[in-house]
Amino acid sequence: MRAVIRGIGSFLPADIMTNEDLSKRVETSDEWIQERTGIRQRHIASEGQYTSDLGYEAAKRALDDAGISAADIDLIIVATSTPDLTFPSTATIIQEKLEMHHGAAFDVQAVCSGFIYGMHVANSLIRSGGAKRILLIGAETFSRILDWTDRGTCVLFGDGAGAVVLEGVEAEEAGVLQTFIRSDGRHRDMLYVDGGPSRTQTVGHLRMLGNQVFKHAVTDIAQVIRDCAEQAGVAVADIDWFVPHQANQRILTAVAKRLKLRPEQVISTVAYHANTSAASVPLAMDCAVKDGRIKRGDLVMIEAFGGGFTWGAALLRY
Ligand code: UT7
């Protein structure tokens, strides 16, 4: 059994916040943000629009793209660190919105690496026969956990959602070829949220030592891609498309350079979406599928790095 991506979709809230808008809130400039991150704008969820709403819209688009309905899905996995509520899971809320009253749904929490972790779980379940069709969604409203007075973090993130329908098919070499996940809790203080139900009974705000995270990200991402490709028995040079987590254009460029990938092989949406955490990889991949760059049969490497630290990669034949 192989887990093949049968459909893909994404959704961005309508409201756009530009760098210029941000410069009216904190001491920053369009020039600084673009030069240091590549970000020009980000989408922000409107009042009353929740992570489950973004995830639901992306899910519907992925189901439409696959030509199936929620009735054909047996499991929903939502990767998010900004759930609607502490519980129930955002996955069960989306399940209800989809009027899906069978199967199961749960959340995965690995911050920006959530979609890769979710794919690792989904791939394992499909390959072992534990599920036939899985709706894997990355959905976030990071705007709700930002400290809008901290220019070092509030300029970096945006809201959005992306989803894929993974289906088990009997094939030799198709779909997800390899997944590889890592974490190291020693670095948890470099990127975290300073609130939570058990410790503070608050939601808290995102805190980050940006330049420290940057250094770890470049090194660890390059290594995990090499490890993932090696386990799959594939040379990095054979990868057609690189769909990285969209945190910072400088990280994307540095990783691509280390792996000797050409700039035109790198799918970059960071300028328009900023960092949407667990939603960033499926959002970027959907853009490249819809604009015709990623085609059926292409070899695609996806990766992410985030709080924990968590990081990982997945290699797939689209
Ligand atoms: O998705 C999870 C993973 N997250 C990441 O991968 C993010 C990784 N980190 C980064 O992307 C970068 O480190 C940042 C974009 C966050 C920061 O860029 P940097 O080149 O590492 O800058 P820095 O943190 O070393 O700060 C340089 C200067 C500082 O001023 P001083 O101390 O040199 O006077 C900051 O205070 O830039 C200042 N600064 C800003 N200036 C204008 C920080 N944020 C801003 C800002 N506007 N928004």
How far is ligand 1, taken at its centre, from the CA of residue 211, in Å? 6
Please report the pLDDT score of residue 154 as a whole number.
98
Among 29, 36, 140, which residue has the most ligand 1 atoms within 8 Å of its CB, making it the best to mutate?
A: 36
Number of domains composing the chain: 2
For residue 272, the domain's CATH number is: 3.40.47.10
CA triple 195-201-207, angle to 5 deg: 5
Q: Within this chain, do residues 72 and 117 fall inside the same structural domain, yes or no?
A: yes
> Is-catalytic flag, 211?
no
Residue 231 domain boundaries: 175-317
Please report the pLDDT score of residue 173 as a whole number.
85
Q: Which residue has the tokens 């808290």?
A: 204
How far is ligand 1, taken at its centre, from the CA of residue 123, in Å? 36
Among 25, 214, 219, which residue has the most ligand 1 atoms within 8 Å of its CB, making it the best to mutate?
A: 214
Q: Within this chain, do residues 189 and 72 fall inside the same structural domain, yes or no?
A: no
DSSP bridge partners of 139: 161
> Which residues of the chain form beta strands (DSSP E)?
2-11, 16-18, 41-43, 75-79, 104-108, 133-141, 159-169, 175-183, 191-193, 206-208, 241-244, 299-306, 310-317
> Is-catalytic flag, 154?
no
How far is ligand 1, taken at its centre, from the CA of residue 210, in Å? 6
The per-residue pLDDT for range 87-103, each reduced to its tens digit, is 999 999 999 999 999 99
> Is-catalytic flag, 245?
yes
Active-site entry in 120, 205, 245, 273: 245
pTM here is 0.98
Is 173 in contact with 196 (CB distance < 8 Å)?
Answer: no
Q: Which residue has the tokens 């009042």?
A: 47
- Span 285-308, mean pLDDT? 98
Chosen domain end from 169, 194, 227:
169
Is 22 in contact with 154 (CB distance < 8 Å)?
Answer: yes
Confidence band of 172 (pLDDT split at 50, 70, 90): confident
Please report the pLDDT score of residue 247 as a whole number.
98
The per-residue pLDDT for range 241-264, each reduced to its tens digit, is 999 999 999 999 999 999 999 999
% residues pLDDT > 70 (the chain): 100
Please report the pLDDT score of residue 69 as a whole number.
98
Q: Within this chain, do residues 57 and 115 fall inside the same structural domain, yes or no?
A: yes
Q: Within this chain, do residues 12 and 132 fall inside the same structural domain, yes or no?
A: yes
- Span 134-157, mean pLDDT? 98
Please report the pLDDT score of residue 73 as a whole number.
98
Q: Within this chain, do residues 157 and 248 fall inside the same structural domain, yes or no?
A: no
Please report the pLDDT score of residue 287 as a whole number.
98
Q: How far apart are CA 93 and CA 74, in angstroms?
A: 15
